[in-house]
Amino acid sequence: MQVAALTASTYYLSIPRSMLLWFPRWLLLGRAGRRWFLLCAAVATRLSALHMLMFTDYVWAG
């Protein structure tokens, strides 16, 4: 909502000051993104190990 108000505004001097209020949101988004990345990395590592075992046992060939 604030982005829409800033894009429609003609008083552009308040943009940097109002963006300072967004700072905690970026921190929370980064923390959530880090958790998501770690979860995906853990799942991908396990799946890669499983696929490597299947490849070495010739299970992948059909």
For the stretch 3-42, pLDDT in tens is: 777 667 666 666 667 777 788 888 898 899 998 999 999 9
Quote the CA–CA distance of 51 and 53 in Å, as a whole number. 5
Dihedrals phi, psi of 25, to nearest 5 degrees = -65, -40
Full-model pTM: 0.51
So what's the pLDDT on residue 11? 63
Inter-residue contact 60 to 54 (CB < 8 Å) = yes
So what's the pLDDT on residue 52? 93
